[in-house]
Structure 1
């Protein structure tokens, strides 16, 4: 009989070996970066696929003790990832180009949100899709926002792959996505607003504002090495306080990062920290996410809902960005290119959907449909963008 530690290490072997072997062996990087393959790997290794085909494997490896250990790592992994996303959120460039940035970011967010909310209202009208603790308004807004999300870290990764990150187009995309990233967490806080715990949430926000001022003052006086350590203490404290207030620890993690100045940390160390988190512990989060998938509502129903949400997300984003392009007088082809790049969803949308599931606003089968939508939209990005980018560059030359 293997010990819990041995079974845990077997689970880690699967988590790190299977996605990497598929990514390298099948050379999927063009349409599915390693991060996307890891997310798909989590789904495949979970109860909905291999667990259903080979239940003995699933029950032997993913015991309650192992799942508990994996969840603990996953929580801390995603908190660190969201924290860094908050630290890297620099709105100075968006402010310098505020008219263009505000018009594009608002239309790129509001239009798919409206399309997604309409699709969400249709889905949630059927029993089994709205969570037991969620109201219809929370569910509709949550699904709408999931359709509107752009995953800033994955967008950066794809722009680097396409060679446009340091070009003017890449910096424009960074501005639009940064504003939307800020809005995502604001909307999540509204969704999680709990009338019964309003006093706690008000106390948290007041205490956070006072503590953030003190932390910022202290950070200015510290060496960078100490700032990293104090930053992690600050992260854990904010996560705990936000969870206590009913806003979820991931909201606290983002707030902990966004009140710190990017300039307090070297660019190289920030990039290295994010890459280490993605390499070492985020795969555990992806597996943990896969373990939460549910096909009990019927596989075809889940895929049908995922397809509906994908259509709403893609159409909404493209319509919104084309409206912005027409208002701002963009060149022909720019709106389609930008719309498809802003369609990238993996990671941030999955984190967002995990919060909705944790708070029982959506059910596991709704979560599964959202997860499939996020994976599909991200896999579409590079194949749809590459030919459009070539055409735009040919016209410019």
Structure 2
């Protein structure tokens, strides 16, 4: 029977697994409170990867996820994540962040800086053992990359969780979006620094200069176009920027973020933008989660990877909470406010997974480090709603505070 199935049929069988397994787990087990569908899809990607399904049923795993099918899935995954990262760039509200620049700067700086320091300290310890740093990395790139992975806040998933908690459009929700927006800029800036290739630095500087000039013309064209044309032209712009960044050695996802960051959110209807994000998450991002799961590696032994993931989780959570607590003292927030904001900013999931995919692509980290960071991202995201929901119930007046 195996020999009689075409690549197309096997590809569709893989798509059946990708979409049915996480949905059934999400619905039957009613995981939404602890793990929304997107988190279940990420976990399913790991379970369908070589470390679990591949180890339990190696013959069937190799049959379904053969090289031709994986190549097809990777193409869909690349385009899915490019669109998703572009939307994240568009949704950055830098105008609001600038209007509240002292508050936003202090909070975002400490919320990013403390877990970065804690995560970097763990990474320095990992350097003492073989198998964690990738063959293409210098020590500073590995330490900074792991540290930043611990500091990341996932803006799109943060939006999703705040919608669930019914605070997205409330003052506290808008404040948290400002802090996350500033952190997103820093995250991608650090990633660009890590990606700098001194053998191709001239090409990279050239790309950034051309991008800056072309952006001026592009923004004028977009402001002139009707909204229905902006969506299509935006996708063309996405492909151009991603190609340019990858050609320059900065990685196509850096280009995707830049493509979105130079677009104004008011060019697009907010409801349509929300639907676009929802449809991308629904229709094509599950393929990216599966392709991420296929890259996990348990070669060092599951226990070692889990121990490192737990240490990284402690560094990430404690660093974020301490940083935001310090911000709260400087800005004189009410008691309990910093805890709510710190836990919400702890949300990682997608953006961190995208971030560490890039580090793995560039051989800055190994598959084992990638797996540990992936487990850390899932755990930190799953903790958010169960911890924050009861805190919000006890302190409802905080929801309406504007600063």
Match of 2:345 in 1: 342
The reply on whether 1:242 has 2:245 as its aligned counterpart is: yes
- Counterpart of 1:38 (choices 34, 38, 41) is 41
Deviation of 1:395 after TM superposition, in Å, equals 8.5
Could you tell me which runs of 5 or more consecutive residues in structure 1 were left unpaired when the two chains were aligned.
none
- Counterpart of 2:108 (choices 105, 108, 118) is 105
- Counterpart of 1:302 (choices 282, 291, 305) is 305
> Aligned ranges for residues 216-255 of structure 1 at < 5 Å?
216-255=219-258
Instruction: Note if contact 2:353-2:374 (Cα within 8 Å) is conserved in structure 1.
Output: yes
Deviation of 1:358 after TM superposition, in Å, equals 0.3
Match of 1:195 in 2: 198
The reply on whether 1:353 has 2:342 as its aligned counterpart is: no
The reply on whether 1:389 has 2:392 as its aligned counterpart is: yes
Structure 2 CA distance for aligned equivalents of residues 327 and 90 of structure 1: 23
Match of 2:20 in 1: 17
Match of 1:26 in 2: 29
* Structure 2 residue matching 1:22: 3-state secondary structure: helix
> Aligned ranges for residues 85-104 of structure 1 at < 5 Å?
85-104=88-107
- Counterpart of 1:284 (choices 263, 284, 287) is 287
Structure 2 CA distance for aligned equivalents of residues 272 and 100 of structure 1: 31
Could you tell me which runs of 5 or more consecutive residues in structure 2 were left unpaired when the two chains were aligned.
none
Query: Which string of whole-angstrom CA distances, capped at 9 and with x for unpartnered residues, describes residues 93-145 of structure 1?
Result: 11111111110000000000000000111112211100000111000000000
Deviation of 1:238 after TM superposition, in Å, equals 0.6
Structure 1 CA distance for aligned equivalents of residues 305 and 229 of structure 2: 47
Structure 2 CA distance for aligned equivalents of residues 241 and 35 of structure 1: 30
Query: Which string of whole-angstrom CA distances, capped at 9 and with x for unpartnered residues, describes residues 241-293 of structure 1?
Result: 10011000000000011111111111121111111110000000000000000
Structure 1 CA distance for aligned equivalents of residues 194 and 107 of structure 2: 24
Structure 1 CA distance for aligned equivalents of residues 43 and 378 of structure 2: 8
Structure 2 CA distance for aligned equivalents of residues 167 and 270 of structure 1: 19
TM-score (norm 2): 0.97
Query: Which string of whole-angstrom CA distances, capped at 9 and with x for unpartnered residues, describes residues 226-247 of structure 1?
Result: 1111111110011011001100
Structure 1 CA distance for aligned equivalents of residues 399 and 361 of structure 2: 48
Between stretches 86-95 and 74-83, larger displacement belongs to 86-95
Structure 1 CA distance for aligned equivalents of residues 229 and 126 of structure 2: 49
Query: Which string of whole-angstrom CA distances, capped at 9 and with x for unpartnered residues, describes residues 305-357 of structure 1?
Result: 00010000001000000000001100000011111111000000000000000
- Counterpart of 2:140 (choices 134, 137, 140) is 137
Deviation of 1:394 after TM superposition, in Å, equals 7.1
- Counterpart of 1:155 (choices 149, 155, 158) is 158
TM-score (norm 1): 0.99
The reply on whether 1:265 has 2:268 as its aligned counterpart is: yes
Cα RMSD after superposing both structures: 1.1
Counting matched residue pairs gives 397
Structure 2 CA distance for aligned equivalents of residues 244 and 154 of structure 1: 29
Structure 2 CA distance for aligned equivalents of residues 135 and 19 of structure 1: 38
Structure 1 CA distance for aligned equivalents of residues 16 and 211 of structure 2: 40
Instruction: Note if contact 2:337-2:398 (Cα within 8 Å) is conserved in structure 1.
Output: no
Which of structure 1's runs of 4+ aligned residues deviate more than 6 A? 394-397
**1:396–1:100 CA distance, 2 compared to 1 (3 A):** closer
